[in-house]
Amino acid sequence: MKYIIANWKIKLAPVEEIRLAKKIIELAVDQGKVKVSINPSFLSLWSIAQILENTPFYVGAQNCFWVDNGAYTGEISPEHLKSVGCHYVLIGHSERRSNLGESSTMINKKIRCAIDNGLVPILCVGENDDERRSGSKDHIIRREIEMALQNVNIVGTQKLLIAYEPIWAIGTGQPATVQESVYMHKVIRQTLVDLLPDETAKNNAFILYGGSVDSANVSDFLRAESVDGVLVGTASVDYKQFAKILEIANNI
């Protein structure tokens, strides 16, 4: 099974997001091979959840808070996300870590609350260009995962997705090579084996690649055995690119 997660960020206006969602539901999804989540902006999430209902497409959020209800002005409750049909939630995206100062403690609390509500967290990790050049990327990624997963219990059929998104590859048109992503996926898998019970690390955790994925390179990533899917930004708001990505994923 390969995951295709579309992170629309706030690249489109809500009316454009709704228009795109209505076109996307006409696309074929081989549900035996691919799981697809559309993660729109919050203003259109509920409407899009309704549009995607009874289709093979899932809805995801781009963030959540770590408490379900209460006096938390402006926050997004994981319980409310679940109640409107949301399935996945991105947590710890590098754009939030850098623009909003999202800390590893916050990320850890968000993951725990998302799991408590039966959402599937997609934990985003990745090194910046300096960390890459200084050779510290393995350490950085390992540390991000260790901190994010403190006291996280994954039981039963609960899933955890980890997206390796090198910061230097996001929105630059310069993706990591498949070899680089496969190498880092092995580091991540080993980290998970060290942190989680063996069966959980093997059966409940999936590792994606993100950063300048498009219709021209997606097949190389999806063909790599250790890559369980892709997290797509820019190309996911371009209908033609996204349709092609899905077609390729259906045929891997």
Which residues are known catalytic residues?
93, 165
Total residues contacting ligand 13P by CB under 6 A comes to 14
Range 158-217, binding ligand 13P (CB under 6 A): 165, 170-171, 210-213
Which segment (15-23, 78-86, 185-193, 232-240) binds ligand 13P by CB under 6 A?
232-240
Where does this chain touch ligand 13P (CB under 6 A) — which range of 13-21, 103-111, 154-162, 227-235?
227-235
- Cα separation, 111 vs 184, whole angstroms: 22
**In terms of CB distance, is 192 or 245 closer to ligand 13P?**
245
What distance in Å separates the CA atoms of residue 121 and residue 111, rounded to the nearest whole number?
A: 6
Residue 231 touching ligand 13P (CB under 6 A): yes
- The reply on whether position 145 binds ligand 13P by CB under 6 A is no
Q: Are 66 and 110 in contact (CB under 8 A)?
A: yes
Q: Mask: binding to ligand 13P, 71-100, rule CB under 6 A, as x and -?
A: ----------------------x-------
| Nearest CA-CA partner of 1 in 242, 207, 245 | 207
Q: How far is the CB of 184 from ligand 13P (least distance, A)?
A: 15
CB of 108 or CB of 212, closer to ligand 13P: 212
Helix axes 137-148, 178-195, angle to 10 degrees: 40
- Amino acid at site 52: L
Select from 115, 36, 46, 44 the least CA-distant residue to 80: 46
Which candidate, 81, 161, 94, places its Cα nearest to that of 125?
94
Is the Cβ of residue 51 or residue 169 nearer to ligand 13P in the bound state?
A: 169
Region of 52-60, 69-77, 193-201, 226-234 interacting with ligand 13P (CB under 6 A): 226-234
Residues near ligand 13P, by CB under 6 A: 7, 93, 165, 170-171, 210-213, 231-235
